Amino acid sequence: MPRPMKGAKTPEKSKDFFGSIQKLLIHLKPWKYLLSLAILLAALSAILALATPNKLSNLTDAITKGITPKTEKLNKINEEILKNLNDESLFEIAISSSLSREDINKFQEINEKINKSESSQQAFFLFTNIPDSILNIILKDITFENSHISIQDQKEFLKVLSTMNQENALEKIDALPESISNLIKPSIDMEKVKDITLFIGSLYLISAIFSYVESFSMTTISNRFAKLLRSKISIKINKLPLKYFDTHETGDVLSRVTNDVDTIAQNLNHSLATLVTSLTLFIGSILMMFSTNGIMSITAILSSLLGFSFLAILLGKSQKYFIKRQEELGNINGYIEEVYSGHNVVKTYNGDKEAILKFGELNQKLYEANRKSQFLSGLMMPIMNFVGNLGYVAVCIVGALLVSKQVISFGVIVAFIIYVRMFTNPLTQIAQAMTALQSTAAAGERVFEFLEENEMTDESHLKKHLEKENVKGVIEFKNVRFGYNEEKTIIHNFSVKVRQGEKVAIVGPTGAGKTTLVNLLMKFYEINGGDILIDGNSIHDLTRENIHELFCMVLQDTWLFDGTVKENIKFNKENLSDEDIWEACKTVGVDHFIKTLPGGLNALISDNDTVSSGQKQLFTIARGNLEKAPFLILDEATSNVDTRTEELVQKAMDQLTIGKTSFIIAHRLSTIKNADLILVMNEGNIIEQGTHEELMKQKGFYEKLYNSQFENTI
């Protein structure tokens, strides 16, 4: 996948590189066959690629053979022709009666000159001057290497030869009569060329197919692996104790599900195969080079290394600028986010001048870092090109030298030109793949760290199960002791008995730990000492799942998911008809509102801005209403719900408490005055308990809290 080039990213360093990679491999076990296949194919495809330069060199040699004329044949034919100018032919001329006197005289004259001639060239020239009648006698049809050369052709041949010199030799040969030129002209062994081409072509094709299958397999593995990791993380979320989420941020877990898994998948997809291919190519090309020619190999490797050492120095120097750039980018992004989201404050406090000043500073710093890192990263490509060219020239020059000394054939140069490329490319790729592996290890570490977190205690041995239809609804806290940390106990020896159908209110200022009691009731956290009894059964003997069945819980942070109103109200309950849902909605009084939504129950909640937080709260109450459980936990709505809806919510909540033993986290004291029991919490502890009247009489914390609502302040 073509991705825009980024300034070389600085890899996140992993704490334990090999450990992390090992874990990664263990998790990859389900795909071990496919993975082996992919790695094998990557290596094979590289090996095939390595085999081609030599073949290409053969092809070049075959072609080169067709370039140089067979000059030695020229002489042989010459000799063959001149052989006929012997005593026998002279005798024949002498006895011939058909010849004119004139011709014979001329011939004798020329013959003498030929004998005296200093160069064969001159001789040829003279030869062509011999009258035709005589030549016809001297020259006889000859057959050279199965090729018939007519007398006419021989005459032509001699004529051409007579004017041939170093410069025009090739043109002259072209001008020779066909019967002769065919013999002298070099010819390429086309059958061989075809064979080699076909062979290399097949190699390319097979290599391409291998590399496609490899890439296809790796894609499959990496995506399936990513899916598995995402699933595992998602399952893990459900198995972790709530404690974990108190100490870890949502964003942190989220980034593991997406960014880290993505990094692993991406790098697995690209780097692993690249690493195998590159290593094979790198080692293979060195082996192949040395097996072809030692001097050329050293030339190629030295010249490339020269370039690379330069590149390495440059990279080392530029690393700090890349880091700097990332830092500055982070700084400026942070500042932008801050100012934009605090826009109103910046404006009303006239902070804009200050902001522009500070932004200018950050921007200038970013500019400096940007400029340098971009320049340096821009240098890579040209330098790589230059290294390539340097290798090329070195190979060509040394190669030419060796060719001229006939140590190697020209084809070797062609092969080496490709070897140089094969040798230099993997080096950069190996470096890149290693960086990628580094960040994979770091990402893997974070994912596995999460997957290896301690899970909630196993409950498979608990066989007791309370049917919610049969539970009366009595709860007893018996000397309960609890602390979020072992060192800091916040609930000491708390005991209270709640009878069937009673209403318990939990009050206290924000941060007083009101949700702690809920956490304990729901067995979200394990108590450190004492016991909580549901209808006389210890919660230690009940599974979390069973306890959850017995409770209906409505929390103040209205949790709705991306889906329709119906899906949200129905949630995980099956076999519910629309009538059941309407019934629940009617009970909490949200039915009219749902009817006004486009699509009614099927309206999507995500893109419906018209649903206010109060109405969302009503949905969650309706959801709770469907859960016919003996216990109820209610976290009252905050002040952010608009006042009109608030009334509805209040009524709906009251409706919900009917016939249930309920625990209400109260924010507004007026609503819980009639509670059977009020638990007052502060700084994690339960400091007072009793009915409204009792607590008011105590004139303690509760009384102050209650009266603070009406204090004269403004």
Partner 1 sequence: MGKLFKNFTKKDLGFIGICLILIVLQVALELKMPDYMSAITRLVETEGSSIKEIVLQGVYMLLCALGSLVSAIIVGYFAANLASNFSKTLRDKIFSKVLKFSTKEMKELETSSLITRTTNDITQVEMLISMGLQMIVKAPIMAIWAIFKILNKGMEWSILTAVCVFVLLITIGFLMITVLPRFAKVQKLIDKVNGVTRENLTGIRVIRAFNAEQFQMNRFEKINNDLTNMQLFNQRMFSIMQPIMMLIMNGLTLGIYFIGAFLINNALLSQKITLFSNMVVFSSYGMLVISSFLMLAMIFMMWPRANISAKRINEVLEKEESIRDGNFDEDTKIVGTVEFKNVSFKYPDADEYLLKNISFKVNAGETIAFIGSTGSGKSTLINLVPRFYDTTEGEILVDGVNVRDYKLSVLHNKIGYVPQKAVMFTGTVRENVSYGDNGREKPTDEQIKEAIHVAQGTDFVLKMEEKYDAHIARGGTNISGGQKQRLAIARAIAKNPEIYIFDDSFSALDYKTDVTLRRELKKHTKNATSMIVAQRIGTILNADTIVVLDNGNCVGIGTHKELLKTCEVYKEIALSQLSEEELLNA
State the DSSP H helix or E strand holding residue 662, giving kind and residue range, or none if neither: strand 661-665
Taking CB under 8 A as the binding criterion, the range among 117-125, 147-155, 201-209, 581-589 that sits at the site for partner 1 is: 201-209
The one-letter amino acid code at 305 reads L
Q: Between residue 499 and residue 538, which ones bind partner 1 under the rule CB under 8 A?
A: 509-511, 522, 524
Q: How far is the CB of 127 from partner 1 (least distance, A)?
A: 24
Q: Which of 109, 132, 178, 337 touches partner 1 by CB under 8 A?
A: 337
Closer Cβ to partner 1, 13 or 227, answer by number: 227
Query: SS in 3 state form for 294-332?
Result: HHHHHHHHHHHHHHHHHHHHHHHHHHHHHHHHHHHHHHH
Given 90, 142, 431, 705, the residue binding partner 1 (CB under 8 A): 705
34, 37, 44, 63: which one contacts partner 1 (CB under 8 A)? Answer: 63
Query: Among 60, 297, 299, 424, which residue interacts with partner 1 (rule: CB under 8 A)?
Result: 60
Shortest CB 375 distance to partner 1, Å: 4
Q: Which stretch binds partner 1 (CB under 8 A): 12-20, 88-96, 490-498, 706-714?
A: 706-714
Residues between 389 and 428 that touch partner 1 (CB under 8 A): 389-390, 392-393, 396-397, 399-401, 403-404, 410, 413
**Near partner 1 by CB under 8 A, which window of 149-157, 222-230, 433-441, 527-535?**
222-230
DSSP three-state, residue 531: strand
Residues between 225 and 264 that touch partner 1 (CB under 8 A): 226-227, 230-231, 233-235, 237-238, 242, 245, 250, 253-254, 257-258, 262
Phi-psi region of 405 (alpha: psi -120 to 50; beta: other; left: phi over 0): alpha
712 near partner 1, rule: CB under 8 A: yes
The residues near 656 (Cβ < 8 Å, ≥ 6 apart) are 552, 554, 588, 621, 624, 625, 632, 634, 662
Helix (H) or strand (E) holding 707: helix 701-707
Interface with partner 1, residue 135, by CB under 8 A: no
Binds partner 1 by CB under 8 A, chosen from 25, 40, 188, 434: 188
Please report whether residue 76 would count as binding partner 1 according to CB under 8 A: no
Q: Quick check: helix, strand or coil at residue 46?
A: helix
Q: Which of residues 557-596 bind partner 1 (CB under 8 A)?
A: 557, 559, 561-562, 571-572
Q: List beta partners, residue 634.
A: 554, 664
CA 144 to chain centre: 69
72 binds partner 1 (CB under 8 A): no
Query: Residues in contact with partner 1, total (CB under 8 A)?
Result: 167
Residue 2 binds partner 1 (CB under 8 A): yes
Give the chain's length. Answer: 714
Contact with partner 1 (CB under 8 A): which of 109, 352, 453, 654? 352
Q: CB 113 → partner 1: shortest distance, Å?
A: 31
Which residues, 6+ apart, have CB-to-CB distance to 66 below 8 Å? 186, 187, 188, 189
> Using CA of residue 99, residue 104, residue 107, residue 108, what is the dihedral sign?
positive
How many other C-beta atoms are found inside a 10 Å radius of the C-beta of residue 625? 22
Residue listed under structure tokens 């109405």: 615
Would you count residue 177 as binding partner 1 (CB under 8 A)?
A: no
- The torsion region of residue 699 among left (phi > 0), alpha (psi -120 to 50) and beta comes to left
Cβ closest to partner 1, residue 209 vs residue 313: 209
**Site for partner 1, residues 357 to 376, rule: CB under 8 A:** 359-360, 363-364, 366-367, 370-372, 374-375
Out of 13, 140, 347, 497, the only residue in the binding site for partner 1 (CB under 8 A) is 347
Per CB under 8 A, does 8 bind partner 1? no
Q: Edge to edge, what strands does the sheet with 475-482 contain?
A: 491-498, 475-482, 529-534, 537-538
With contacts defined by CB under 8 A, name the span among 18-26, 217-225, 479-487, 690-698 that binds partner 1: 217-225
Minimum separation from the CB atom of position 396 to partner 1 (A): 5
- Site pattern 683..702 for partner 1 (x: CB under 8 A): --------------------
- Contact with partner 1 (CB under 8 A): which of 668, 687, 690, 691? 668
Closest separation in Å from C-beta 103 to partner 1: 36
Complete DSSP assignment for 193-208: HHHHHHHHHHHHHHHH
Tokens of 605: 């909640």
Element (H or E) spanning 20, and its range?
Answer: helix 17-27
For residues 173 and 69, is the Cβ–Cβ distance under 8 A? yes
Under rule CB under 8 A, residue 329 binds partner 1: yes
Residue whose entry in the numeric block shows the structure tokens 């001097």: 295
User: Which secondary structure element, helix H or strand E, spans residue 497, and what is its range?
Assistant: strand 491-498
3-state secondary structure of 573: coil
Question: Given the complex with partner 1, which of 155 and 514 has the nearer CB atom?
Answer: 514
| Residue 154 sits in the site that holds partner 1 (CB under 8 A) | no
Instruction: Write the interaction track for partner 1 spanning residues 601-640; mark x where CB under 8 A is met and - where it is not.
Output: -----------xxx-----x--x---x-----x----xxx
| Alpha-carbon gap, residue 197 to 205, rounded angstroms | 12
Dihedral sign, Cα of residue 666, residue 671, residue 673, residue 677:
negative
Examine residue 46 and tell whether it contacts partner 1 (CB under 8 A). no
> CB-wise, 87 or 469, nearer to partner 1?
469
Q: Which stretch binds partner 1 (CB under 8 A): 30-38, 108-116, 195-203, 656-664?
A: 195-203
If one asks whether residue 549 binds partner 1 (CB under 8 A), the answer comes out as yes
CB 278 → partner 1: shortest distance, Å?
Answer: 13
Contacts 24+ apart (CB under 8 A), 600-606: 600/565, 601/564, 601/565, 601/566, 601/569, 602/564, 602/565, 602/566, 603/564, 603/565, 604/562, 604/563, 604/564, 605/560, 605/561, 605/562, 605/563, 605/564, 605/565, 605/568, 606/562, 606/563
Cα 262 to the center of its chain, rounded Å = 7
- Residue 14 or 58: the one with the smaller Cβ distance to partner 1 is 58
| Cβ closest to partner 1, residue 348 vs residue 485 | 348
Give residues 433-492 in contact with partner 1 (rule: CB under 8 A): none
Q: Does 333 bind partner 1 (CB under 8 A)?
A: yes
Can you tell me which of 31, 450, 525, 551 binds partner 1, judged by CB under 8 A?
A: 551
| Of positions 106, 159, 492, 548, contacts partner 1 by CB under 8 A | 548
The strand pair at 685-690 and 537-538 is best described as: unpaired
Tokens representing 261 are 């898994």
